[in-house]
Amino acid sequence: MTDLAVGIDIGGTKTAVGLVTRTGEVIARLDAPTPANEGGDSIVSAASSLAHTLLHGRTVIGVGVGAAGVIDSVARRVVSATGSLSNWAGTDLGRAFEAALDLPVVVQNDVHAHAAGEAFVGAGRGHGTVLVAAVGTGIGGAVVVDGQPQFGAHGVAGHLGHLPAEEAAGILCPCGREGHLEAIASGTALHELYLRLGGDADVQDAREVVRRTDNDQRARTAVVTSARALGRCLGGLVNVIDPDIVIIAGGMRRAGALWWSSVEEAMRTTAMPLVERVPLVEASLGDDAAIIGAARGAFESLEAVNQ
């Protein structure tokens, strides 16, 4: 038995690969741009090449992959993907990585892997039930129970960006439906909301909207509106799941005090009194979370098989 696994995180823009210990320490890592327009074979081949370089003859228990898109962890395939990765849906990740690396392979979604990493050695360490909201250009998430991200029947579980939010009524969500949280509370949506409110057309992104909240009433309104929508959804989830802790990951976690206080107030006033004091914290692992979570998936699945 070996104490190392390869963790692979395939995102829409970047692929990162690490050698990860059983206790969740990354001892070596490499990353490179994901060849997003070149199809599944090229994406797998780019990731495998990074893994080969890192492995350099070292023995590992296997490979854990966290990949963008909806992933069927049992079939180890990409079920569906957004437009950011072309010819990605249908890719047989299990077989492709096994062929490339000659190692056993375990596959999950990248947000699930990220959440598993945070729950294992990040902000959720030591907690049994962890709710992770990943709020960036889009919104994803996961519920991790005793270290295991919940995949659901189709690999879709945790997609909290597609909860209904009244502020998003009539606004098209990237998933194709209207009225979802992601359409009002992602970074992209915050910027669009600011422009709809009549904000300065020269403002380019959510980061700039956040920076203007001291002096620009429209920026304040946009930030508070989108943060409250997120907070209410989190409060509703707290009522359903009763987590030990709620973690916010993704770029919007740097959106500042007004955003955080608006999220928190809405979450606590929506949560039932018994659960309203649940801790709400920022993710702590940064870029390595998904590598660690993917490797953790490999340790758990492959050792269970070997026992």
Task: Specify the residue, 76 or 162, whose C-beta has the smaller distance to Zn ion.
Answer: 162
Task: Specify the residue, 41 or 178, whose C-beta has the smaller distance to Zn ion.
Answer: 178
Count of CB atoms situated within 10 Å of the CB of 36: 20
Q: Least Å distance between CB 159 and Zn ion?
A: 8
Q: Least Å distance between CB 154 and Zn ion?
A: 15
The answer to whether the CB of 24 falls within 8 A of the CB of 122 is no
Cα–Cα dist 250/100, whole Å: 31
Q: What share of the chain is helix, strand, coil (3-state, %, to 5)?
A: 40, 20, 35
**Which residues lie near Zn ion (CB under 5 A)?**
162, 173, 175, 177, 180
For the chain, how many residues are written? 307
Task: Specify the residue, 162 or 268, whose C-beta has the smaller distance to Zn ion.
Answer: 162
What is the bridge-based pairing of β-strands 4-10 and 14-21? antiparallel
Task: Specify the residue, 162 or 253, whose C-beta has the smaller distance to Zn ion.
Answer: 162
Q: Least Å distance between CB 168 and Zn ion?
A: 9
Q: Least Å distance between CB 175 and Zn ion?
A: 3
Cα–Cα dist 101/99, whole Å: 6
Cα–Cα dist 210/214, whole Å: 9
Q: Least Å distance between CB 117 and Zn ion?
A: 25
Angle, CA of 143, 68 and 294, to the nearest 5°: 60
Task: Specify the residue, 154 or 177, whose C-beta has the smaller distance to Zn ion.
Answer: 177
